[in-house]
Amino acid sequence: MFKKAILYSMIFGISLSAIGCSSDDEAEIPAGTLGSVYYLNFKPEQDGDWKQLASMYTELTGVRVDVVTAASGEYETTLLSEIGKSEAPTLFQVNGPIGLEGWRDYTYNLAGTPVYQQLKSDDFALIEDGKVCGIAYVLETYGLIYNKELLEKAGYTADDITNFETLKAVTDDIQARKDELGIKGAFASAGLDGSSDWRFKTHLANIPIYYEYENDGIATTEAIKGTYLDNYKAIWDLYITNSTTDPAQLSAKTGNDAVAEFVNGDAIFYQNGTWAYNDIKSIGDENLGILPIYIGVDGEENQGLVTGSENYWCVNQFAAPEDIQATLDFLYWCVTSDEGKDIIAHQMNFVTPFIGFTEEYLPANPLIVAADEYITQGKTSVDWCFSTIPSEEWKNGVGSALKAYSAGLGTWEAVEDAFIDGWESEYKLMNSF
């Protein structure tokens, strides 16, 4: 009988553990009348900088500021569990209109707050029906990062690459002479492991989406037509043929693999953005350049880099009023005080959309300097349209299809299906509840 009891309680216990929810009893620390700030930070790279800023603010005003950073790729999961707690984050992030879907009810209306008034334009705010749900705090840019020294060694400069044809001609030639040049391939591996595939299923896919939106004069859609999918195929084929890596092995290549190839000089081109600077700065600021990603669209000679934001600050409207006030004060201090601006611009290397960040508050990141040059030259920046992608599942579908296609196991039609049909079905699914 006893044995039986043990067994039954084992069944109960084991099956139960699949259903349980975590309980969340943390010691409550009295907040006081000052209120306190709890920032759930998205970017692990800047964790230390935010903590420094927080302790400076606490010293200055006595207001407690806690900064917690979610592990890479775990932001939504962390936010989901943190926000249910009694000491929930007062300040959190969403990644754009689609990310806002899940958190709209939690956002405090920032309209009229001093920090909102610091924004250069409403383009940098997430506004829905007049409610300011979030404000962008960092602008980022991506493109085709290249190693100037190696490109010159191969006999070219960035001026030789002005559209897709020239990009193809240059990289084809480099690939053919790779042994002579002492490299493994023109492009660093287009890894499709989870740590790297967002560069292609999201960032690269953004470009055909952008051109389709431009062509149709829209900003979002419920059904993508795939007008520029042939261009997507062209650039992808280029990435995987003129590569350091056998396409069949791309599914196992990670983000770190690509960084290592680029930093070791095994590859000349590496698609990524301004945020990657810290990973690749060892090749020297003077050797870092960034090119637009050309996909073969008419008039792309005038195309610039891809600039936008997927980092929006949102204030938790269910926080205590004094905590909301403390959070708003903290944010205002961050973007207006000299100390705040200094750390944000020079330590975090952020380009921000706030008016207080004048000339002397521009980061030293050479990729950002290069990005600014494109704007000064009058090139048209490509928008971050991927924040309108209906769901993560869409990206995963495209990523899987790309993997199969690259390894020669799937067809390009499967990628097109994932792109076009996947968009429609995910859009319906997301809006059917």
Partner 1 sequence: MNKSLKNSVIPFIIFVVPTLAAFCLGFVYPFIQGLYLSFCQFTTINNANFVGITNYKYLLTDTNFHSAFWYTVQFTLATTVTINIIAFIIALILTKGMKGTNIFRTIFFMPNLIGGIVLGYIWKILIDGLLILMGKPLLALNPTAGFIGLLVLMSWQQIGYMMIIYIAGLQNVSRELIEASEIDGANGWQTLFKVKIPMVMSSITICVFLTLTYSFKLFDQNLALTNGEPNSSTELLALNIYKTFYARTGAHWRGIGQAKAVVFFVVVAVLALIQLGVTRSREVQS
- For binding to partner 1 (CB under 8 A), which residues are involved? 3, 7, 10-21, 23, 76-77, 80, 83-84, 98-99, 101-103, 105-106, 192-194, 248-249, 251-252, 391-393, 397, 400, 403-404, 407, 409, 430, 433
Positive/negative CA dihedral, 411, 267, 142, 44: positive
Considering the complex, state which of residue 234 and residue 430 has its C-beta at the smaller distance from partner 1: 430
Question: Rounded to the nearest 10 degrees, what angle do helices 321-336 and 47-61 cross at?
Answer: 110
Question: Rounded to the nearest 10 degrees, what angle do helices 392-406 and 229-241 cross at?
Answer: 50
Give me the least distance between CB of 253 and partner 1, in Å please.
10
| Residue in this structure with the two tokens 């829905």, named with its chain if needed | 128
Cα–Cα distances in angstroms (integers) from residue 78 to residues 84, 93, 134, in the given order: 10, 11, 19
Q: How many Å apart are CA 192 and CA 271, to the nearest integer?
A: 13
- CA neighbor of 171 nearest in space, from 269, 89, 104: 269
Give me the least distance between CB of 288 and partner 1, in Å please.
31
Give me the least distance between CB of 255 and partner 1, in Å please.
15
Considering the complex, state which of residue 195 and residue 241 has its C-beta at the smaller distance from partner 1: 195
Considering the complex, state which of residue 249 and residue 380 has its C-beta at the smaller distance from partner 1: 249
**Strands of 177-276, DSSP E:** 185-187, 267-273
Considering the complex, state which of residue 81 and residue 117 has its C-beta at the smaller distance from partner 1: 81
Q: How many Å apart are CA 292 and CA 129, to the nearest integer?
A: 35
Residue 164, SS3 per DSSP: helix
Give me the least distance between CB of 152 and partner 1, in Å please.
35
Give me the least distance between CB of 198 and partner 1, in Å please.
13
Answer for the pair 269, 188: CB distance below 8 angstroms, yes or no.
Answer: yes
| Residue in this structure with the two tokens 């521009």, named with its chain if needed | 362
Q: DSSP character for 314?
A: E
Q: How many Å apart are CA 260 and CA 109, to the nearest integer?
A: 44
Considering the complex, state which of residue 99 and residue 308 has its C-beta at the smaller distance from partner 1: 99
Considering the complex, state which of residue 14 and residue 71 has its C-beta at the smaller distance from partner 1: 14
Cβ burial of 337 (10 Å; 0-12, 13-18, 19+) is: middle
Give me the least distance between CB of 70 and partner 1, in Å please.
12
How large is the C-alpha radius of gyration of the chain?
24
Residue type, position 33, single letter: T
Give me the least distance between CB of 102 and partner 1, in Å please.
4
Sequence-distant (6+) residues with CB within 8 A of 427 are 222, 223, 390
Considering the complex, state which of residue 143 and residue 422 has its C-beta at the smaller distance from partner 1: 422
Give me the least distance between CB of 232 and partner 1, in Å please.
19
Please provide the DSSP assignment of 59-92 as one string.
Answer: HHH--EEEEEEPPTT-HHHHHHHHTTSSS--SEE
Count of residues making up the chain: 433
Considering the complex, state which of residue 201 and residue 341 has its C-beta at the smaller distance from partner 1: 201
Give me the least distance between CB of 412 and partner 1, in Å please.
16
| Residue in this structure with the two tokens 């899940």, named with its chain if needed | 102
Give me the least distance between CB of 71 and partner 1, in Å please.
13
Considering the complex, state which of residue 103 and residue 187 has its C-beta at the smaller distance from partner 1: 103
| Residue in this structure with the two tokens 């879907």, named with its chain if needed | 101
Considering the complex, state which of residue 10 and residue 218 has its C-beta at the smaller distance from partner 1: 10
Q: How many Å apart are CA 262 and CA 266, to the nearest integer?
A: 6
